[in-house]
Amino acid sequence: MNKKNFTIAALVLSISQFITLPSSAADLSLPPVAKEAVVQQVNTLATTSVEYKKELMEKLSHINQFSAVFEQEIIDNEGNILQTGGGDLAVKRPNLVHWNTTSPDESLIVSDGESIFLFDPFIEQVTAYKLDGAIANTPILLITSNDTALWEQYSVSRSSANNYVIHANDVNSRIKTLEINFNDKSELSGFTFLDVTGQLSKVSLNNMNLSTNLDPSLFTFTIPEGAHLDDQR
């Protein structure tokens, strides 16, 4: 992985494989009693997913805006740390993000609510995407949205009382899941991405500030002089 782009790449990583369940009991070569048990289990899992999704959306709905310092690790599927870095992050509803990586190299991601811009100073290039298309591969933007239609594209499980895992329902999504972590005070503390190759991106948040009146200029992007625009909108 190009070190200059490790944070941007981490935001478009996939997290895990899906278990394909039968669409109906007729698809199972099992005795009727066993079929009924499996169908009940599938229905229970679906109900639990809906409940966890509501629970997570409720938690996130209380986060109108925040700023934080972040630390990030990129870990391969054998547990080796490939890269570490950090920077600062600001988020505001709806759909506003300012993700500024300062180490080991600089990069910037800005969402203005309509478009998302990825700037790599090293190669002096800005890539722009429409927000609605970018969300599918950048589920961190789900933190800023209570759009039920958008959330219907995802299922939610829970790995512990404070950790929720968002699964993309689209098997072709480049990002399959995102784990969102809260502390014991129900405060957002970090998130984790995992791609289909097993590469993990762990982000921890520090100096969390929920009361900051964020500067609107954080969520506007001006193409730097001399930078090339790759407009994918």
Residue 26 is assigned to a structural domain of this protein: no
Q: What is the pTM of this model?
A: 0.74
Q: Which helix (H) or strand (E) holds 129?
A: strand 125-130
> From residue 216, how far is each of 21, 50, 63, 92, 112 by CA, in Å?
45, 34, 17, 10, 9
Evaluate whether residue 81 is within a structural domain. Answer: yes
H or E segment and range at residue 157: strand 154-160
Identify whether 9 is part of a domain: no
Domain coverage including residue 225: 31-231
CATH code, domain carrying 126: 2.50.20.10
> Does 166 fall in a domain?
yes
Number of domains the chain contains:
1
Question: Would residue 167 count as lying in a domain?
Answer: yes
Position 126 in a domain = yes
Residue 178 lies in a domain: yes
Residue pLDDT tens, the chain, 233 long: 444 444 444 443 322 222 233 334 444 454 554 434 434 443 444 457 889 998 898 888 888 899 999 999 998 888 899 999 999 999 998 889 999 999 999 999 999 989 999 999 999 999 999 887 776 666 677 788 777 888 888 889 988 888 999 887 877 766 677 899 999 888 899 998 877 777 788 999 999 898 778 999 999 999 999 999 999 98
Q: Is residue 10 part of a domain?
A: no
Q: How far is CA 11 from CA 37, 109, 216, in A?
A: 39, 10, 23
